[in-house]
Structure 1
Amino acid sequence: MKFPERTLLGIITCKSKRTPPFQEITFFKHLTQEGARLGLALIVFSPMDINWDHRKVSAWRWHPKNDNWLREIHPLPSLIYDRCYYTDSRQYMLYKPYVERLIKDSNVHLLGRPLSGKWSTYQLLKPHSSIRPHLPPTSTLLSAEDLELALNRHGSILIKPNGGSHGRGVIAVIPQGGRYHARGRTLRNHPVDVTLQTKKSAIGWIQRITANTRYIIQPYLSLVTADGYPFDIRILVQKNGSGTWETTGSAVRTGKVHSLTSNLHGGGKAERTFPFLQRQFSDDTTAQIMKTIEKLAADVPTQIENEHGRLVELGLDLGVDRTGRVWLLEVNSKPGRTVFLLTGEREQYRRSVLLPVEYARSFLLGPTGGSV
């Protein structure tokens, strides 16, 4: 079936070994449903499957009548929603030239430009006076000297891959009686729990496991409940059909005791934010935390967009220490939203799916039929 170009939204994604060959199948079905209500058709494809000579793409489209994905040839859409997840730097470099060609094409627009990594995001946010106090001190891991300096300055440190998510590659290094205890997960998501006998051996071990991948270093922050469970707060902020930022919702993710992260992919659980904070903190502290969350949800998207370029949505991951201080741990330009299903907040989930499609429609058609 052919669709008018101005009603076609393309979703780019990385290939996987399945049929259809991509992740987020349920999310893309829901996007297709919301798009149909607004008069938009959605197709899903890898940027590798574009025929630039004919400006056509071999894409997948969901057919709701028989709940089936069919492969079809479509014109290359003029508007693209980037949902490519890169598991490591090798995959990122593999896809980079294909995505860059889309970005550079004058007839193609990305709904929002993806962020390029944790270090560059930190650099974008650090100048903002109201955001800076909530940023953990961050440096790049380029040499043994960087590790030596960080261990001397902070004592315990956390190393994170500059790209990637889901807790992969995140490792804490904590001094214990002259030795160094390292725990976390490798880039391949295997658990790590080792004791290094000296600072020198700890630095050498870190350099080996981080070789060929860009990493950042931060102080290790104790962001746990009173009984030792790690938790963070995911805030989803999105543009609506009028191009205005709004907070779709928030949820707390709790991890297993002694684990480093509360990521749902690592077995974490989700619950509603305010009742959780009320159980952990006094009423006054809870009110202050909620006020800070609202402020960051308003300031962070504006600050990044001013420096980086157009965005469509952001996931903000916040940590709270036992004193009630709020830390901005990560900003994700390709956030998930299943957390709202896990907390039973189905209306927030549906709106989180609807808003990108509403924004895409306003971008393609505009309030009077022209692009915005």
Structure 2
Amino acid sequence: MMNGTNQYGMGVIVCRSNHQTPPFQEKSYYQQLTQEGIPLGIHVMVFCPMDVDWQTRSVNGWRYNPNTGQWSSDRYPLPSLIYDRCGYSDSRQYQMYKPYVMSLSNDPNIQFLGRPLGGKLPNHEMLVKNSSLLPYLPQTLRLTAFKDVRSFIEQHDSVLIKPNGGSHGRGVAAILPHSKGYVVRGRSPKNQPFQIRLHKETSLRNWINRFTKGVRYVIQPFLHLDTSDRRPFDLRILVQKDGLGQWATTGMAVRLGSIGSLTSNIHGGGKAERAIPFVHEHFPQQANQILATLQFLSKEVPLQIEREHGRLIELGLDTGIDRQGQVWLLEANSKPGRSVFLLTGEKEIRIQSVRRPILYARSLAQGLIGGSV
């Protein structure tokens, strides 16, 4: 540990996963956060927000020891810095955790590194307020009734429905009109691929009612975001605050799905490729313009969301490129993964992606950047 370095505690809040020890996902990321934090005076502790004892302002948390390679749990003072990495599997889990997370965020002695975003629809509504972003935003509406699907099919031919709060491609379905009815293909809520044929509109209505029951969905035009050999892809841009509280692009990577599949997500069996060579290979005539657009989005989207939403620490921007070379902003995620950069072999980007939250946390703790940044 560096002599003379002030010491700060940073708590990473997570959802409990009882079938493993320690009881949470993303262990390798938190191990790397710990290792990056120690020389900078940031001590990382991982805990579930339900485990806070407000009477003693303490929490049962987990720490990683790089010397032994082991995790251990103990009772620790409640840290003053919180990095929210709670990954909710569905809206029910979100509602269960919400009051515990709110208790932390409302405490005057605690600073969150960033406020997590809500679902796809509120994010879209923040972005459409910026006219410079409108050309890159697919029409997005809340799915309230079957008439929404019918209207979208009349306007756009094919449509896409997806959970407002979903991730990893789960529960996403494309509805494609066919000469004998409709083809519906996608991934189930358990992330299993499926394809069905429905011959009547009433059959489609009944299927949608079952598929979306109890879950808030959005509807969009179905964009053809695949390669010439029908492999779906998207391009993830990771933007993060640096140690000065300024936005910086950490890296870009392509997630490439299997032939004929609907989604490109790594969790759905996809693979990763380096972004710039991929764009030049698949869009040789438009590559420079596409890359300039991606650079514009990486600068403008974080600023726009912060203006509307409040402080963020990082964003994963999921973008698509259609067959005409048009860039689309598909999603902005305030709790992005970073394993894609390991899969592309870009280890320096992965290291940078871990170091930047630590540098930002240290500056926030030292008061070098304002609390509203």
TM-score, scaled to structure 2: 0.96
Q: Distance in 1 between matches of 2:372 and 2:80?
A: 11
Residue 226 (structure 1) shift: 1.1
Q: Distance in 1 between matches of 2:232 and 2:239?
A: 23
Question: Structure 1 pair 152/363, CA: closer, same or farther in 2 (3 Å)?
Answer: same
SS state at 2:130 partner = coil
Q: Distance in 1 between matches of 2:178 and 2:6?
A: 62
Q: What is residue 46 of structure 1 aligned with on the other side?
A: 48
Q: What is residue 270 of structure 1 aligned with on the other side?
A: 272
Q: Distance in 2 between matches of 1:170 and 1:35?
A: 38
8 Å Cα contact 1:235/1:315 also seen in 2 = yes
8 Å Cα contact 1:88/1:187 also seen in 2 = no
8 Å Cα contact 2:363/2:369 also seen in 1 = no
For 2:136, which of 129, 134, 137 is the aligned residue?
A: 134
Question: Structure 1 pair 143/369, CA: closer, same or farther in 2 (3 Å)?
Answer: closer
Question: Structure 1 pair 280/369, CA: closer, same or farther in 2 (3 Å)?
Answer: closer
8 Å Cα contact 1:148/1:203 also seen in 2 = no
Q: Which amino acid aligns with 2:131?
A: S
Question: Structure 1 pair 32/239, CA: closer, same or farther in 2 (3 Å)?
Answer: same
Residue 6 (structure 1) shift: 6.1
User: CA-to-partner distance for each residue in 1:134-171, whole Å, 9 max, x for gaps?
Assistant: 01101101122222222222221111101121101111
8 Å Cα contact 2:128/2:134 also seen in 1 = yes
User: Does residue 328 of the first structure (1) align with residue 309 of the second (2)?
Assistant: no
Question: Structure 1 pair 5/371, CA: closer, same or farther in 2 (3 Å)?
Answer: farther
Q: How does 1:38-77 map to 2 (within 5 A)?
A: 38-77=40-79
User: Does residue 261 of the first structure (1) align with residue 263 of the second (2)?
Assistant: yes
Q: Which amino acid aligns with 2:358?
A: V
Q: What is residue 237 of structure 1 aligned with on the other side?
A: 239
Q: Distance in 1 between matches of 2:6 and 2:152?
A: 52
User: CA-to-partner distance for each residue in 1:26-79, whole Å, 9 max, x for gaps?
Assistant: 000000000102011000000111111211100000011111000011111111
SS state at 1:296 partner = helix
Q: Distance in 1 between matches of 2:127 and 2:288?
A: 24
Q: Distance in 2 between matches of 1:280 and 1:258?
A: 17
8 Å Cα contact 2:364/2:370 also seen in 1 = no
8 Å Cα contact 1:315/1:333 also seen in 2 = yes
Residue 208 (structure 1) shift: 1.1
Q: Distance in 1 between matches of 2:58 and 2:204?
A: 52
Q: What is residue 175 of structure 1 aligned with on the other side?
A: 177
Q: Distance in 1 between matches of 2:283 and 2:305?
A: 31
Q: Which amino acid aligns with 1:320?
A: I
Residue 93 (structure 1) shift: 1.3
Which piece of structure 1 moves more, 83-92 or 140-149? Answer: 140-149
Q: Distance in 2 between matches of 1:335 and 1:370?
A: 22
Q: Distance in 1 between matches of 2:372 and 2:234?
A: 38
Q: Distance in 1 between matches of 2:371 and 2:274?
A: 40
Question: Structure 1 pair 34/316, CA: closer, same or farther in 2 (3 Å)?
Answer: same
User: CA-to-partner distance for each residue in 1:101-138, whole Å, 9 max, x for gaps?
Assistant: 11222222210000011000000000111111101101
User: Does residue 352 of the first structure (1) align with residue 353 of the second (2)?
Assistant: yes
Q: Which amino acid aligns with 2:195?
A: D
Q: Which amino acid aligns with 2:210?
A: R
Residue 370 (structure 1) shift: 10
8 Å Cα contact 2:315/2:334 also seen in 1 = yes
SS state at 2:223 partner = coil
8 Å Cα contact 1:183/1:194 also seen in 2 = yes
Which piece of structure 1 moves more, 189-198 or 324-333? Answer: 189-198
Q: Distance in 2 between matches of 1:28 and 1:36?
A: 12
The two structures, once aligned, show a CA RMSD in angstroms of 1.8
Q: Distance in 2 between matches of 1:34 and 1:205?
A: 49
Question: Structure 1 pair 368/338, CA: closer, same or farther in 2 (3 Å)?
Answer: closer
Question: Structure 1 pair 181/33, CA: closer, same or farther in 2 (3 Å)?
Answer: same
SS state at 2:170 partner = coil
User: Does residue 29 of the first structure (1) align with residue 8 of the second (2)?
Assistant: no
Q: Which amino acid aligns with 1:244?
A: Q
Q: Distance in 1 between matches of 2:371 and 2:104?
A: 22
Q: What is residue 291 of structure 1 aligned with on the other side?
A: 292
Q: What is residue 184 of structure 1 aligned with on the other side?
A: 186
Residue 190 (structure 1) shift: 2.5
User: CA-to-partner distance for each residue in 1:211-237, whole Å, 9 max, x for gaps?
Assistant: 111110001010011111111100000
Q: What is residue 339 of structure 2 aligned with on the other side?
A: 338
Q: Which amino acid aligns with 1:175?
A: P
Q: What is residue 201 of structure 1 aligned with on the other side?
A: 203
Q: Which amino acid aligns with 1:36?
A: I
Q: Which amino acid aligns with 1:201?
A: S
8 Å Cα contact 1:236/1:314 also seen in 2 = yes
SS state at 1:238 partner = strand
Residue 325 (structure 1) shift: 0.2
Q: Distance in 1 between matches of 2:192 and 2:15?
A: 22
User: Does residue 120 of the first structure (1) align with residue 118 of the second (2)?
Assistant: no
The alignment covers a number of residue pairs equal to 368
Which piece of structure 1 moves more, 174-183 or 23-32? Answer: 174-183
Q: Which amino acid aligns with 2:366?
A: L
8 Å Cα contact 2:310/2:372 also seen in 1 = no
Residue 186 (structure 1) shift: 1.6
Q: Which amino acid aligns with 2:296?
A: K
Q: What is residue 319 of structure 1 aligned with on the other side?
A: 320
User: CA-to-partner distance for each residue in 1:146-202, whole Å, 9 max, x for gaps?
Assistant: 222222222211111011211011111111114111111121222221111112211
Question: Structure 1 pair 370/294, CA: closer, same or farther in 2 (3 Å)?
Answer: closer
